[in-house]
Amino acid sequence: MKTSKRICKNGSITLPKQIRGEAGLFPGNAVDIETSTDGTVTIKPSAPCCRFCGTVENVIIADNVIICRKCAEKLLAKVDKTND
């Protein structure tokens, strides 16, 4: 997704919800911000965090999806109920 935003007077930029979700950025999580010589700004989570709840505890990466144990168990329970 690509979008254009204005920088606020205090220097902040609000990232749209869809972009935050696609990038795995959740409220309260720390991020790393880097600039390159061509002026590109890169924002990434400082630590892998769960795609669903945002926690950084007990996370695994499965098929390029970062998920915590608790959310994985919830998803598996839903799958089991659907298959019953």
Per-residue pLDDT of 40-67, as tens digits, reads 999 988 888 888 888 889 999 888 788 9
pTM flag (> 0.85):
no
Quote the CA–CA distance of 16 and 49 in Å, as a whole number.
Answer: 18
Position 42: which residue type? T
Quote the CA–CA distance of 36 and 67 in Å, as a whole number.
Answer: 30
Per-residue pLDDT of 5-31, as tens digits, reads 999 999 999 999 999 888 878 787 789
Quote the CA–CA distance of 53 and 4 in Å, as a whole number.
Answer: 27
DSSP-based helix, strand, coil % in the chain, nearest 5: 25, 20, 50
